[in-house]
Amino acid sequence: MTTRDWILTAVVFAPLLTGLAVGLPARFGTLVAERYVRALVGTALTLTWLGSVALAIWFWKSPESAFELQLFDLFRVGDVGFSISFLVDTAGVPMMLLTTTLTGIVGRFSFRYMHKERGFLRFFVLLCFFETGMLLVSLSGGLDVLVFGWEIVGLSSAMLVAFFTHRNEPRSSALYVFTTYRIFDVGLLVAGVFLHHYAHSVQFSKAFGGVKWPLAVAHLPTAGAVAVAVALTFAAIGKSAQLPASAWLPRAMEGPTPSSAIFYGALSVHAGAFLLLRAEPILEEVPLVRILIVVIGIATAVHATLVGRAQADVKTSLAYASMTQVGIIFAEIGAGFYRVALLHIVGHAIVRSWQLLRAPSFLHESHVVHDALEGDEWVRGRHAELIFPQKAQHRLYRLAVERFFLESLVRRLLVAPALHLARSLDSFEKRLALIFVGETAPESKGTPGETTGNYTEPQSAAERP
Amino acid sequence: MSHNDSTNESPLLSALSHVAHLLPIQGPIGVFVHHNTLHAFEQMPFHEALLEGEKHFGGRPYLTEDAYHDHFKTGRIQTSDIEAAYKAVYGVSFAQETAKIADLITRGALRKLRILHTFYAPQQGSVPFLLHDGGALDAFHPAVTEAQRAFLMRGERSPRHVLTSLFEVAKALSFSIQSPPPVEEPVLRHQQSLRIETGVDIDDWTVPFMIRWASTFLDGGTAYWPLPMREKGFYAAVRSLCSDTSWASSSFARRVSSLFSDQQKNEFDAEKTCEHCLKELGVSKNKTESFLEALLAPVRGFAGMFNKLQHDADPHAEALPTLIDFVAVRLTLELAAVQTLATKTSTPGWAFGKWLEKTLPIQTRDALSDAFVLFQLFQLTGTRPARAKSIEAAGAAALLHELQVFGERDVRRVWQEAYELHYAYEVSGAIAAHPPCPGFKPRFQVITCLDEREESFRRHIEETDPLVETFGGAGFFGLPVDYRGIDDAYATARCPIVLDPDREIHERVHPDDVALLDRRKKRRRLLGLVSRELGNSSRMFMRGAVLNAFVGWLMAVPMALRVLFPRWSARVSKLYSSLVVPAPRTRLEVDPTPHHHDERMLLGMPESERIDRVAGFLENIGLTHSFSPLVVVLGHGSNSLNNPHESAHDCGACGGRHGGPNARLFAHLANEKPVREGLAKRGLTIPDETWFIGGEHDTCTDAVFFWDTEEIPDSHKALFDKAVRTLDEARAHAAHERCRRFDFAPWGMTPERALREVERRAAAFDEPRPEYGHATNAYAVVGRRSRTRGLFLDRRPFLISYNPLSDPKGDILTRTLAAVGPVCAGINLEYYFSSVDNEHYGCGTKLPHNITAGLGVMNGAGSDLRTGLPWQMVEIHEPLRLLMIIEQTKEALLSVLHRVPAVKLMVEKQWIRLAALEPTRGEISLLQPDLTFSTPITAPAQPLATVVRSAEYYHGHREHLRPAVTKAATVRLSEPAVEAA
């Protein structure tokens, strides 16, 4: 391996190792003191950032030098194998730089912000894991490594939503986020299976026809391309809070401010969009799926902008503003503006995370502006809202405040039938088992709380026919 | 709606007004005013009010037993304090309680044992765990003494053997006692019964609805799209927006819509709707009040805000919230939810009222838990199994009964009293034994707010230059006015909230600088517009896309700079704005012939009033003679970023705003010739060579700045420069002392470095503790500064200057006590409650806070409004009730107290404690709740440390410190060389 390869490997894994180093002692009953956490994590974040800058400079000096690094094979049987590989290219490098920069800044921010908080250590362990997860997503050379990073990102996000374990809302919101993630992650796994089947590899360099992003073209059979593209789109919808999965995003604001800023304002919410960018060679093959992505993106953006305009609290309003922009990014990707979309991701992630970090200053800042404008009324609701006649406006307003009843719609149309099916299957299986055991079936009395966990309990019970 | 008529109120409205009384009274967070969190029960004795608070709000009344045990270990509470506290509460000492219980232990001994050691009464079901996995059978209770252990172990091989047989005996005893029937409590809401029956909590449907709509309605500018029809009121607006059933997707939402549309058809007003819903829900008249209270409990914060804004309407708000509107919506939702859910119960046809007739078990005796208590008691009393066996069931019952009568709350009450008594004796002793500082001719004088944060600042001024005299008074300087600076959008009140000013003072630009002001306004407006438009646009659809995609990455620069170099980048941006936005010279416009600004407000102040106000304040603080050539008047305020509770650090006496303008006004008035002449006529002669100058102290950055410096006469310029140098040195030392509390400030830093640290705290976005505010406040001293000058008091007392010698009739004291007593008590009690139970009485940790509607904070994205103080503000606070030490004879103090009924009530009900410091002798007597005095305290229990300057004493200590003697402020006074220096 060359120096460059070493740097790349170190950049990806240094945060994970640091997280383990400060986190593992807790497993044996010793909590690493704050100042050591600060020193270790601070060093790791800084070095990771420097490493990523070095890689980026090196890459931009000779843009033709996109390359793939095969670290090692986990196993290989003939043609099929599972190898750990990284891909450094025009799509991955900006994402890498964005990840290390934002994590570095937010990490530094949190040293003081999280000071003395119960869970200080937990926060930084999760932040380190998250950074490696995001870097794996950005730099992975194949779908298998990407899945690995994807799952780390999902898990650490959900655990940061549940950061304040002593209250109920964070716990149930975290469960909600986690469940949504898990359901949509299926798309990624399915895409992997299809890729293996049709392209005999999940390496982007092979399956997607080269490393010249965004000019590479995959050569999959049409059925395969459609299947993979749909599955990846499904996965991207969940992670990037697009319709119909968007209800988790405002719920994720239960964590401490910096985690909201970096996860839901900046990085993990864009992971889905990045996945689609990554899959661009396949998307190029299937215009129908691209149209689907545009439709989903526009629908999400319109939904989110209407909802966001009616939210009276700072963090929810920012969450919906995020969703709006991610929707537009989806539309850009669907329309084929890949470079614009990449630029949009970077710019938006920075703006939004900075706004979320400053969210507690909202009053201070709005007083300053208010005085500067000498008490002028806020100019509000001038544009989209006034296009509609008044009656429609009022209807729309209610839908905006109620977030288009999305949560209860999803429960009624998706969750409840799924639960119903699961319960029927469960009782069928029990009956079947009892036939063999030879006893009579007891009355099945499934209470909703048993099978569905906390979050679906209230509404689903009401929605039961 | 005629809900303000108290004469013939309907039963609904009177029930509602009782319920409203229990709601939080915190107003919009932008102007934070401290108040007693349990204001609803302030007519009750303190300890009873705590229990009421626990019953209604679920808040802990005292610290946890563990916390008191920790204080006991460090010596902060001592055995003698516990004995004194017990005697104070129960009237007898432990030794006098000689009745034997179960022939085993006297009541006094049992109670003392109970106080000193937690008798762990485990939760239902956890006893087997404690025995088998928790090691309770392997080791003795940690408090068992060596001798007891030896006695218990006599003739036995292992502790396990003894402990097992002891537990068996305890278990047999406990199970032989007849258990009382479980205590049941009627349900208050349908929600409780329905949740038990169906597993569904209807609050999960109704509360998010309430929170979303209420915050949208109250919003003052967060949302880009304001609620349509909000001017019609909350109920009317929500009703007409939600009455359309066709869009609602859930059965609950459809019910809500159809109820609203029925109400609309019938043209109900809010009150009628409430009555209708209550009737439908089957809530009988006698249950209305408890039902409404329980109904509002999950949204107390918002309900309180509606109630508060209804009574203290913001004149600039678009919408007028009323509590009845809020309740009407809440009741409609409740009815819709009950209707939806009731069909799914086993008795779908029930009248809804039946759900209110159920009861909930609240207390069931757990015999195993009792056995565990007896088991611990046997160990702690050194009772061997054989002896324990001889106890009869009645004896065991008596022991358990005694432990129930003297329960966990009684134990903590004694601890709390001991905790407070110890401190009261400590500071009283220190002040009583302190020799008064002899009089001297001051070089200049400084008047600050009575705020306990100014204690250290004043002490460091005096230590820096012992020829400076300092005074403390309420920080609005006796000037209740509305003030509007050149940059303000409108005038705001600068006085305690109980006063309602009818004078308005404007800051005006210097005539030569009119053009400059014009430019300033234009530039500020431009910057404001740009910042508003950029902020809004980034959230919008198309504009947002263009901005984010093409220039968004530029924001990385300010983000990195502001996070990595907060102090430096704040200075650069300040420098930049001072270059762009010119600062014209200004002066206060105090029109001597005031005219009406509107029907109520008088712009300016008539001359006689000026004289009265200036004289009144100077008399209050006892500055009526020995004026120095320069008198510095300093208000205070606090600036910090990323801190929704910023205003809680401002001046409480200025209604949660900055007090600088009042200081400036006071100096302006006191310098006026006609005022001086008027004062002289009243016998208050201010020498011609005395000049007043007003300024402000920023308690977060410890910066001090002055106004109207160009008007200082040439003769005073040198002295003013000297004063500025002294104050600069003192504020650096004050910052240094504050830094001892901050973990991020290393030991051994210079005062200049400490200033940089506190400046960073104010400018940084990552700092949840820009300053600690009033935390650690514990007492107040009303008296001459000479009695406390030269004492290190650790930023804990409010210092109110008052000269008892010039107040023979007690008129001044009556005024002072009436004004500052409730203010200081309000601050003190808010800190008490927010620190004993931060989740219930405070607003929890700041980290997930989310500003909603510009009025308050919620946790995350959808909680109720959180009131009270965040954990980061109170984490170092010792919850102690205010002790007011007043320099006056006992008789005079009592007679004054009778003239101030509000304070007298607080003393009798034990919300505050008063003490008399003899003006001519070094003794302090505590005033008991029955208005008799304790035996005088003349000296501290342990001698005080003596140091030259404060820094020597606090170096290396992050914890609370006892008072100490600092020589620098007093000792050099006798040295003639000082004058020359």
Are the beta carbons of B863 and A169 separated by less than 8 Å? yes
Are the beta carbons of B555 and A253 separated by less than 8 Å? no
**A381 has pLDDT over 70:** no
Pick the last residue of a domain from A326, A360, A394. Answer: A360
Q: How confident is the model at residue B965 (pLDDT cuts 50, 70, 90)?
A: very high
Are the beta carbons of A370 and B860 separated by less than 8 Å? no
| Per-residue pLDDT, A377 | 60
> Shortest CB distance from B552 goes to which of A324, A340, A351?
A351
Mean pLDDT of A377-383: 60
Q: What is the DSSP letter of B182?
A: P
> Shortest CB distance from A324 goes to which of B251, B544, B643?
B544
Q: What is the pLDDT of residues B372-382, one digit of tens each?
A: 999 999 998 88
d(CA B780, CA B913): 10
In angstroms, the separation between the Cα of residue B711 and the nearest Cα of chain A is: 28
Please tell me which residue of chain A has the smallest CA distance to B871.
Answer: A117
CB < 8 Å to B547, chain A? 347, 351
Examine residue A164 and state whether it is found in any structural domain, yes or no.
yes
**Is the domain of A229 the same as that of A85?**
yes
Examine residue A382 and state whether it is found in any structural domain, yes or no.
no
Q: How many domains does chain A have?
A: 2
Are the beta carbons of B861 and A313 separated by less than 8 Å? yes
CA distances from B312 to A375, B14, B307, B322, B791 (A): 20, 20, 9, 11, 42
**Is the domain of A301 the same as that of A424?**
no
Percent above pLDDT 70 for chain B:
98
**Is the domain of A89 the same as that of A168?**
yes
**A367 has pLDDT over 90:** no
Q: What is the pLDDT of residues B560-618, one digit of tens each?
A: 999 999 999 999 999 998 888 888 999 998 877 777 767 777 888 888 999 999 999 99
Range with the lowest mean pLDDT among A376-390, B189-203, B316-330, B487-501? A376-390
Examine residue A379 and state whether it is found in any structural domain, yes or no.
no
Q: What is the pLDDT of residues A290-305, one digit of tens each?
A: 999 999 999 999 999 9
| Per-residue pLDDT, A441 | 46
| Per-residue pLDDT, B616 | 95
Cis upstream peptide for A214 (omega within 30°): yes
d(CA A258, CA A454): 26
Residues with Cβ < 8 Å from B185, sequence gap 6 or more?
B359, B360, B361, B362
> Shortest CB distance from A401 goes to which of B213, B224, B872?
B213
Are the beta carbons of A401 and B222 separated by less than 8 Å? no
**Is the domain of A348 the same as that of A432?**
no
The neighbouring-strand residues paired with B857 are B851, B866
Mean pLDDT of A33-42: 94
In angstroms, the separation between the Cα of residue A185 and the nearest Cα of chain B is: 25
According to DSSP H, which parts of A336-383 are helical? Answer: 338-357, 362-372
CA distances from B205 to B241, B296, B334 (A): 18, 14, 9
Containing structural domain, residue A33: 3-360
Examine residue A193 and state whether it is found in any structural domain, yes or no.
yes
d(CA A185, CA A168): 26
Residue B54 identity? E
Q: How confident is the model at residue B136 (pLDDT cuts 50, 70, 90)?
A: confident
Pick the last residue of a domain from A331, A360, A389. Answer: A360
Percent above pLDDT 90 for chain B:
67
The neighbouring-strand residues paired with B692 are B631
Of B748, B738, B728, the closest CA to residue B771 belongs to: B738
Are the beta carbons of B642 and A317 separated by less than 8 Å? no
In angstroms, the separation between the Cα of residue B333 and the nearest Cα of chain A is: 14
Are the beta carbons of A397 and B341 separated by less than 8 Å? no
Pick the last residue of a domain from A325, A360, A395. Answer: A360
Tokens encoding B697: 């102290």
Q: What is the pLDDT of residues B163-180, one digit of tens each?
A: 999 999 999 999 998 888
Are the beta carbons of B553 and A251 separated by less than 8 Å? no
Between B530 and A104, residue with greater pLDDT: A104
Range with the lowest mean pLDDT among A436-440, B99-103, B501-505, B626-630? A436-440
Examine residue A375 and state whether it is found in any structural domain, yes or no.
no
**A173 has pLDDT over 60:** yes
Examine residue A341 and state whether it is found in any structural domain, yes or no.
yes
| Per-residue pLDDT, A438 | 67
**Is the domain of A35 the same as that of A183?**
yes
Q: What is the pLDDT of residues B791-808, one digit of tens each?
A: 999 999 999 999 999 999
Q: What is the pLDDT of residues B208-257, one digit of tens each?
A: 999 999 999 998 778 888 888 888 999 999 999 998 877 777 889 999 99
Q: How confident is the model at residue B537 (pLDDT cuts 50, 70, 90)?
A: confident
| Per-residue pLDDT, A69 | 80
**A442 has pLDDT over 80:** no
CB < 8 Å to B221, chain A? 366, 370, 378, 380
**Is the domain of A271 the same as that of A125?**
yes
| Per-residue pLDDT, B917 | 96
> Shortest CB distance from B848 goes to which of A256, A350, A364?
A256
Please state, rounded to an integer, the average pLDDT across all residues of chain B: 90
In angstroms, the separation between the Cα of residue B232 and the nearest Cα of chain A is: 14
Q: What is the pLDDT of residues B847-862, one digit of tens each?
A: 999 999 889 999 988 8
Q: How confident is the model at residue B145 (pLDDT cuts 50, 70, 90)?
A: confident
- Contact between residue A142 and residue A203 where contact means Cβ atoms under 8 Å apart: yes
Query: To 5 degrees, how large is the angle CA A27–CA A144–CA A136?
Result: 60
d(CA B110, CA B116): 10
| Per-residue pLDDT, B660 | 94
Please state, rounded to an integer, the average pLDDT across all residues of chain A: 86
Q: What is the pLDDT of residues A181-217, one digit of tens each?
A: 999 999 999 999 998 888 887 888 777 776 677 777 7
Are the beta carbons of B847 and A113 separated by less than 8 Å? yes
Query: 10 Å Cβ neighbour count for B951?
Result: 17
Please tell me which residue of chain B has the smallest CA distance to A342.
Answer: B549
- Contact between residue A11 and residue A135 where contact means Cβ atoms under 8 Å apart: yes
| Per-residue pLDDT, B11 | 86
**Is the domain of A30 the same as that of A120?**
yes
| Per-residue pLDDT, A382 | 62
Are the beta carbons of B199 and A166 separated by less than 8 Å? no
Q: Would strands B691-698 and B704-706 be described as parallel, antiparallel, or unpaired?
A: antiparallel
> Shortest CB distance from A395 goes to which of B247, B341, B550?
B247
**Is the domain of A204 the same as that of A67?**
yes
| Per-residue pLDDT, A432 | 87
Are the beta carbons of A457 and B199 separated by less than 8 Å? yes
**Is the domain of A86 the same as that of A182?**
yes
Are the beta carbons of A321 and B544 separated by less than 8 Å? yes
d(CA B774, CA B830): 10
Q: Is the dihedral of CA B284, B285, B289, B293 positive or negative?
A: positive
| Per-residue pLDDT, B865 | 93
Buried b (16+ CB within 10 A) or exposed e, A438-452: eeeeeeeeeebeeeb
- Under 8 Å CB pairs connecting chains A and B tally to 308
| Per-residue pLDDT, B375 | 92
Examine residue A262 and state whether it is found in any structural domain, yes or no.
yes
> Shortest CB distance from B845 goes to which of A117, A355, A373?
A117
**B3 has pLDDT over 60:** no
**B153 has pLDDT over 90:** no
**B192 has pLDDT over 70:** yes
**Is the domain of A184 the same as that of A316?**
yes
Mean pLDDT of A7-22: 94
In angstroms, the separation between the Cα of residue B743 and the nearest Cα of chain A is: 9
CB < 8 Å to B201, chain A? 458
Residue B188 identity? L
Are the beta carbons of A315 and B860 separated by less than 8 Å? yes
State the ipTM, two decimals. 0.91
Q: Determine whether B865 is exposed, middle or buried from the number of CB atoms within 10 Å of its CB (0-12, 13-18, 19+).
A: buried
Are the beta carbons of B539 and A308 separated by less than 8 Å? yes
Examine residue A340 and state whether it is found in any structural domain, yes or no.
yes
Model pTM above 0.90: yes
CB < 8 Å to A398, chain B? 241-242, 244, 247
